Chain A
């Protein structure tokens, strides 16, 4: 779980320069997320963790912090394991 958070933090830190992101920081309220970064973030989560972000996953809560993204991954990877 920590490894996942570390990877997410590393990805976000490229866009959030000079700011130490905490696991529960709301990245939207920090004002750095535009549509291109939002798209990159989805692509990163898909590629890095071998998931597919579906239309029903489009909820700002799922992407607003490192903790919430990790929770989304847990749900998706967990359900994938059950289905698999």
Chain B
């Protein structure tokens, strides 16, 4: 898929009319990702969740394998930029192990790609290589205490002062904000004679004067994702750190960033749903009630069937979105939105059923399904809530398959 389908069609594929199959390289990559996750992530994900912190060693491990920034167009190591289907497989496998680790991949990639897409030549020259290789970790500073779904209502202000912008405001729920090196900040511009109040995106180094960050703890899901609040008090950044143009901060820069984020979150949701299915297939084949294994009860079979069907359907929507993204089809944005909407709801439903199938055990830390449910709920809210998507999706026209 992706790269495969853009190649010359084979005779059998042409006669079949449609081919939906991973390439051998994609299958091998998936096995490699799965092996990495099973060795280095899954056994520790529960502990990281309880400690509310992923260790920096795992960030280094992701970086060393080329997983962070894998799809950046400038990557020339690890075989060059990863195709977007393989990237989806990577995201799914990471989420199968730990959604907090998956969220690092999501947020770093969405912002580093956004900088590359809309940054000036100078900005790309300054930060392109370091963000592509994840030597500098990126985070998105969009939400505020009073601005969530209504992103256009952000109140962080940017004031031009000589060759610098001064940013003042508070940003909240910043994933990996505790350790990120660069923040993409959406702010409202002041002192623009004819552009008062327009939104713009700025690249803010974590070392900037006037920037302080505070760890946020106690969140329900993706608890290990090192959330932070940023407080900017006349935070000084060079004028050249404007990304895109004033007035286009939300409509193009942040929209581009969130578009990639939704693709990653969609795949991450598939990973959670698959993890729920894995856990339930194991548990229901081991535990006995009423003299027989759980899986032999018809209502249990019904839940497993729903889980299998919705996980498969979500993955197919992700494949479709990935293919359109890989071929740069303008319909990719809408299909990605649809994939994220469906997959995040599928993950919540799968996790809810998984907890039920585990009974009281499902409510304990001894089993992973409680964490899956908490993490799945996050997926329905980030990068556009289910409700926002329900009012957005009907506005798109979708081409038929």
Q: Of the 9-residue stretches B27-35, B133-141, B249-257, B307-315, which lies at the interface with chain A?
A: B249-257
A43 CB, min distance to chain B CBs, angstroms: 4
Identify which of residues 241-278 in chain B touch chain A, using a CB-to-CB cut-off of 8 Å.
243-245, 247-248, 250-252, 254-256, 259
Please report the C-alpha to C-alpha distance between residue A60 and residue B330 in the assembled complex, in whole angstroms. Answer: 19
Question: Which residues on the A side are within 8 Å of B392 (C-beta)?
Answer: 34, 36
A38-B330 in contact (CB<8A) = no
The winner among A15, A34, A36, A38 for most chain B CB atoms within 10 A is: A36
A11-B330 in contact (CB<8A) = yes
A15-B397 in contact (CB<8A) = yes
Q: Of the 9-residue stretches B47-55, B157-165, B293-301, B331-339, which lies at the interface with chain A?
A: B331-339
B120 within 8 A of A: yes
B120-A60 in contact (CB<8A) = no
By beta carbon, the residue of chain B nearest A57 is B245
Q: Give the interface SS of chain A, mostly helix, strand, loop or mixed.
A: helix
Find B328's partner among A34, A41, A46, A59 (CB 8 Å cutoff).
A46
Contact-size category for B: 20 to 34
B119-A55 in contact (CB<8A) = yes
A40 within 8 A of B: yes
Identify which of residues 67-118 in chain B touch chain A, using a CB-to-CB cut-off of 8 Å.
118
B44 within 8 A of A: no
By beta carbon, the residue of chain A nearest B248 is A58
Asked if A14 meets B397 with Cβ closer than 8 Å, knowing A55-B245, A59-B245, the reply is: yes
The winner among B255, B256, B328, B337 for most chain A CB atoms within 10 A is: B255
Asked if A36 meets B330 with Cβ closer than 8 Å, knowing A14-B397, A59-B245, the reply is: no
B12 within 8 A of A: no
A55-B118 in contact (CB<8A) = yes
B400 within 8 A of A: no
Identify which of residues 1-58 in chain A touch chain B, using a CB-to-CB cut-off of 8 Å.
11, 14-15, 17, 34-44, 46-48, 55-56, 58
By beta carbon, the residue of chain B nearest A48 is B330
Please report the C-alpha to C-alpha distance between residue A38 and residue B330 in the assembled complex, in whole angstroms. Answer: 11
Question: Which residues on the A side are within 8 Å of B328 (C-beta)?
Answer: 43, 46-47
By beta carbon, the residue of chain B nearest A53 is B252
B250-A35 in contact (CB<8A) = yes
Please report the C-alpha to C-alpha distance between residue A80 and residue B85 in the assembled complex, in whole angstroms. Answer: 31
By beta carbon, the residue of chain A nearest B398 is A14
Question: Which residues on the B side are within 8 Å of A58 (C-beta)?
Answer: 118, 244-245, 247-248, 252
A55 CB, min distance to chain B CBs, angstroms: 5
A47-B329 in contact (CB<8A) = yes
B64 CB, min distance to chain A CBs, angstroms: 32
A39-B333 in contact (CB<8A) = yes
Identify which of residues 44-83 in chain A touch chain B, using a CB-to-CB cut-off of 8 Å.
44, 46-48, 55-56, 58-60
Residues of B within 8 A of A (CB): 118-120, 243-245, 247-248, 250-252, 254-256, 259, 328-334, 337, 392, 395-397
Residues of A within 8 A of B (CB): 11, 14-15, 17, 34-44, 46-48, 55-56, 58-60
Kindly list the 5 A-B residue pairs having the minimum CB-CB distance in the complex, ordered from nearest.
A44-B330, A58-B245, A14-B397, A35-B255, A43-B330
